[in-house]
Amino acid sequence: MRESGSDPSPAGRVRALLEESARVKRAVAEGQAEAIARAAALVSEAFRAGGRALLFGNGGSAADALHVAAEWCGRLGRERPGLPALALGANPSELTAIANDYGFERVFERLVDAHGRAGDVAIAFSTSGDSPNVLAAVDQARARGLRTLALTGKGGGKLAGRVELAIVVPSDDTQRIQEAHIAIGHALAELVEDALFPVR
């Protein structure tokens, strides 16, 4: 909803959208910086011990999981060895086979069962925090001894209470939450690089 007196032009709308995105990110910086730093330390510890990161989510959150996994497998800001990160939504044959045989609510649960090991870290992306397949995967990860993180919004939903550490974007707008999630993902990737491959 536009505020009274706001610029009704397309350019004005663009400015308003970007300003709101920036406002949400500032709120994340003020309220979630410590949680993001703890999450990065947890991921760094898992990588250092030979574990992997398993990332998952639906729709735009699946794209965010793919993006962050790529930053670790490739590189973000410096030349370094690749880090073992796996986006669980990347293989359509796995997804469709599991959805066909078990139902879509179990796709990530089965993939965590297949790929997850104690000491790995499961990173769940969900703007609502209430996606049944994400919740099932987190429950499976905990049962298998994985560490669990979540990036969510809208108050955290059920997901925030079912993970070891939740980073909750203070917004109810899906687009703004996803924009903040990728900024958080970049911060996590950079902090992990700093921890494991310090510049000397």
Percent of the chain predicted with pLDDT > 90: 93
Residue 5 confidence class, pLDDT cut points 50, 70, 90 = low
Asked whether residue 64 carries a pLDDT value surpassing 50, the answer given is yes
The reported pLDDT for the residue numbered 118 is: 97
Mean pLDDT over the full length of the chain: 95
Q: Are 120 and 146 in contact (CB under 8 A)?
A: yes
Asked whether residue 158 carries a pLDDT value surpassing 90, the answer given is yes
Residue 7 confidence class, pLDDT cut points 50, 70, 90 = confident
The reported pLDDT for the residue numbered 1 is: 44
Asked whether residue 186 carries a pLDDT value surpassing 50, the answer given is yes
Domain ranges of the chain: 33-196
Q: pLDDT of 84-104, one tens digit each?
A: 999 999 999 999 999 999 999
Residue 78 confidence class, pLDDT cut points 50, 70, 90 = confident
Q: pLDDT of 15-36, one tens digit each?
A: 999 999 999 999 999 999 999 9
Q: In the CATH scheme, what is the homologous superfamily, with its name and number, of domain 33-196?
A: Glucose-6-phosphate isomerase like protein; domain 1 (3.40.50.10490)
Lowest mean pLDDT, pick from 4-18, 69-83, 175-189: 4-18
Q: State the average pLDDT over residues 176-185.
A: 98
Asked whether residue 4 carries a pLDDT value surpassing 70, the answer given is no
Q: pLDDT of 130-148, one tens digit each?
A: 999 999 999 999 999 999 9
Asked whether residue 2 carries a pLDDT value surpassing 60, the answer given is no
The reported pLDDT for the residue numbered 164 is: 98
Q: State the average pLDDT over residues 170-181.
A: 98
The reported pLDDT for the residue numbered 107 is: 98
